[in-house]
Amino acid sequence: MKILTIFLALSVLVFLSCGGAGGGGGIQSLNEMTPLQTETCCITTPVPNAEFVSLLMARQGGVALDWHIKWLTPEGKLETKRIDFADTPQTVSIEFAKNRATPVLVYLAVNGKEHILPAGAVYPTNKSGNTLAATWINGTSAEVLMQILTKTEQPQADTQHLCNYFNWQKFQEEFAKRVDEPWLVDKNKIAAKICTGSFSVSVLKEEKTYADVFQSDTVEWVCAPYGEAKPVYSGESAYFALSKKIYLSSRGTVFIEKKASSKNALVITELAE
C-alpha cells in the first residue's frame, strides 16, 4: 500500500509535465539524486532487414548508411554517437547511472536522416551481464521513456523517480504479444497514460489501417519506417495507417495518406530525396 501511495503521488506530480516542450531546468536536478553511482555497459546494434538494406544501397545514386545511438547520460544530458554501418551487431560502451531507468535509441540513418524508427533498449531492464542488445521491438518502449524524460517541465528528478517505478519489463512483454507493427501505435498516448498513472495494456494497439496497391508509375517499392519491416513492391497489396505517415521508397522518403474522395486509394502527398 505504501508503494502504491508513493507511485500515485509521483504520477500526480508529473501529470502536467509529460506533454511539455521544456526540460532544460530538469537536468541540474538529477545531480541532486545522491549518491550517484555509475556502471558501463555495452550496447549492441540490431540486424536490419537484409532485403531492405540491399534495395536502399541499389537506389539510384546510392545512399550512405550509419548508426546513430542516443541515450541520456548520468547527468541527464542527451548524448549521440555515430558509428559506421554494418549488417552485423556492433558494440558501443555507454555509462549509465546505476539502477536508473534510461533509454537507448539506435537509429539506422539514411543519408544522415533518422526516418526509420529506432531499435532500442531500456537500462537496466534489458541488461544481461554488462550488455544491452538493442532490438527493433523494444524501440517503442525506449522511445516512450525518452519522451517522458526529455519533455518534462517539472524537475527531471521527479519524472525519473516515476519512470524508475514503472514496470518496463512487463510493458515490453505485453507490447510484443499485442503489437505486430510498432510504427502504428500512438506513442504520445502511451507516454501520457504512464505519466498519469492510468496506463493499461489496452492502450497497446495499432492504428486502423487500409489496404492499397502501389502503381508501377509511382514507386518500385516502399518500406514501412521500421528496421525489421520487409519492403512491399508495386502491384502487391499492403496496409497503411489512416493517418499521414512517412515511408521509405525507391525514390526517397514519401508521405502516404488515404485519398479523401475514395474508399480505397493511396496518395503520395510529398516526395523528398
What does the pLDDT average to over 69-74? 96
Look at residues 115, 113, 122, 66 and name the one whose alpha carbon lies nearest to residue 94: 122
| C-alpha torsion sign, points 254, 260, 261, 266 | positive
Please give the model's pTM, rounded to 2 decimal places: 0.85
pLDDT band at 15 (very low <50, low <70, confident <90, very high): very low
What does the pLDDT average to over 56-78? 91
Q: Is the pLDDT of residue 50 over 70?
A: yes
Tell me the C-alpha distance between 242 and 248, whole Å.
17
Look at residues 68, 70, 96 and name the one whose alpha carbon lies nearest to residue 84: 68
For every residue of 26-72, DSSP letters joined together read HHHHHTTSSS--EEEEEEE--PPPHHHHHHHHHSTT---EEEEEEEE
Give the type of residue at 11: S
Tens-digit pLDDT profile for residues 147-194: 999 987 767 788 999 999 999 999 999 999 999 999 999 999 999 999
Q: Which residue has the higher pLDDT, 243 or 92?
A: 92
Percentage of the chain modeled with pLDDT above 90: 55
Please tell me the predicted confidence (pLDDT) of residue 251. Answer: 83
Place of cell 535509441: 105
Q: Is the pLDDT of residue 52 over 90?
A: yes
The lowest-confidence range among 114-123, 132-141, 221-230, 242-251 is: 242-251
Q: Is the pLDDT of residue 91 over 90?
A: yes
pLDDT band at 125 (very low <50, low <70, confident <90, very high): very high
The lowest-confidence range among 4-8, 85-89, 210-214 is: 4-8
Q: How far is CA 127 from the centre of its chain?
A: 18
